[in-house]
Amino acid sequence: MIPTLLVYGLVNSVILALYALGFSLTYGISGLANFAHGALYILSGFAAWNLIHHMGIPLLPAALLSVALTGMLGFVFYWVLLLRIRGIALAELVVTFSAGVAILEILTWQGFYGIRYSLPVFLRGGIEVGGVAVDYQRLLVLGTGVVLVILLWLFVHHTRIGLAFRAMAQNERTALSVGIESDWVGSLSLAMGAALAAVAALVVLPLGVMESTIGYEVLIYALAVAIVGGLESTVGMILGSFLIGFGQVAAARFIGAKWMVIVPLAAIVVVLAVRPSGILGRFKELEERV
């Protein structure tokens, strides 16, 4: 029992972390809560499906292409829609959210619903880890999660763009004064967030079938993880996803399977009561000003 709990708890946690990674990156850098995150996630899945089934492109190039396309969409999204309303929190939120809903609705309208829409796995089959049968795809999910986090850390700490990102996150005005263009960083952060959503989609979606409602699901889980872990902190985000991921498996094991979906709610309620800003979030009681 315990090995299963560990292995699948780990897999579920990493899936949650993958959901939240892009969202939290964009928010951490440019303070932009991208509520179209879930829609971009599922859109990239359908894009890959179309590339594979209608254009006959093999899986790997189709996946890469889909990640690139989704990233570009995020970039364009910033310049077309968000540029003019940057800084008005309400407008930003409504625009990203309605863009997301529009994407999901158009997908549904196109008839992307049903079991035929299923991405192939990269590798069929599986192995036994400590007596627990796991398929290669879930191991791939684990690997992707770990590699992405390491790559992101390297990117943010050791490249020029990454350093600019951090500068913008720490202090926008000072960053502006040393020649970092706010809109470029904003649009790049959105593009990266979108691309990360696409990567997550392409490794996680083959585990099941695709459906546009997954878009809402992903957004909800990304938010839950961010709330529990603390909004700005990547480590907190990872902690949050482990808490919820293991919590779900444990709840299914010890209380009953249907209680799995309650775990995020319970986690949020408990965290709010104890530490309203999340496990590792900075306590933002009053408006911050410089």
Number of residues that bind other proteins (CB under 8 A): 77
Please report whether residue 10 would count as binding other proteins according to CB under 8 A.
no
The correct pick among 76, 129, 167, 259 for binding other proteins (CB under 8 A) is 259
> In this complex, which beta carbon is closest to other proteins, that of residue 16 or of residue 67?
16
Residue 38 CB, nearest distance to other proteins (Å)?
12
> In this complex, which beta carbon is closest to other proteins, that of residue 98 or of residue 182?
98
Residue 233 CB, nearest distance to other proteins (Å)?
13
Please report whether residue 178 would count as binding other proteins according to CB under 8 A.
no
Please report whether residue 50 would count as binding other proteins according to CB under 8 A.
no
**Segment 56 to 115, residues that bind other proteins, using CB under 8 A:** 81, 84-85, 88-91, 93-95, 97-99, 101-102, 105-106, 108-109, 111, 113-115
**Segment 215 to 234, residues that bind other proteins, using CB under 8 A:** 216-217, 220, 223-224, 226-227, 231
What is the rounded (10 degree) CA torsion for 36, 41, 44, 48? -160
Q: Which long-range contacts (CB under 8 A, 24 or more apart) does 270-278 make?
A: 271/227, 271/228, 272/227, 277/230, 277/231, 278/226, 278/227, 278/228, 278/229, 278/230, 278/231, 278/233, 278/236, 278/240
The correct pick among 160, 178, 256, 290 for binding other proteins (CB under 8 A) is 256
Binding part of the chain for other proteins, among 58-66, 146-154, 172-180, 263-271 by CB under 8 A, reads 263-271
Please report whether residue 140 would count as binding other proteins according to CB under 8 A.
no
Strand (E) or helix (H) holding 164: helix 160-170
Q: What does R_g of the chain's alpha carbons equal in angstroms?
A: 19
> In this complex, which beta carbon is closest to other proteins, that of residue 155 or of residue 216?
216
Phi and psi at 180, nearest 5°, equal -95, 125
The CA-based diameter of the chain, rounded to the nearest angstrom, is 58
Please report whether residue 176 would count as binding other proteins according to CB under 8 A.
no
Please report whether residue 13 would count as binding other proteins according to CB under 8 A.
no
Please report whether residue 54 would count as binding other proteins according to CB under 8 A.
no
DSSP 28-94: HHH----TTHHHHHHHHHHHHHHHHHHH---HHHHHHHHHHHHHHHHHHHIIIIIGGGTT-HHHHHH
DSSP state for residue 135 in the 8-state scheme: E
**Segment 19 to 48, residues that bind other proteins, using CB under 8 A:** 27, 33
Please report whether residue 137 would count as binding other proteins according to CB under 8 A.
yes
Tokens 């943010």 locate to: 156
Residue 136 CB, nearest distance to other proteins (Å)?
9
Contact 263, 221 (CB under 8 A): no
The correct pick among 138, 144, 190, 241 for binding other proteins (CB under 8 A) is 138
CA distance 21 to 146: 12
CA distance 124 to 251: 29
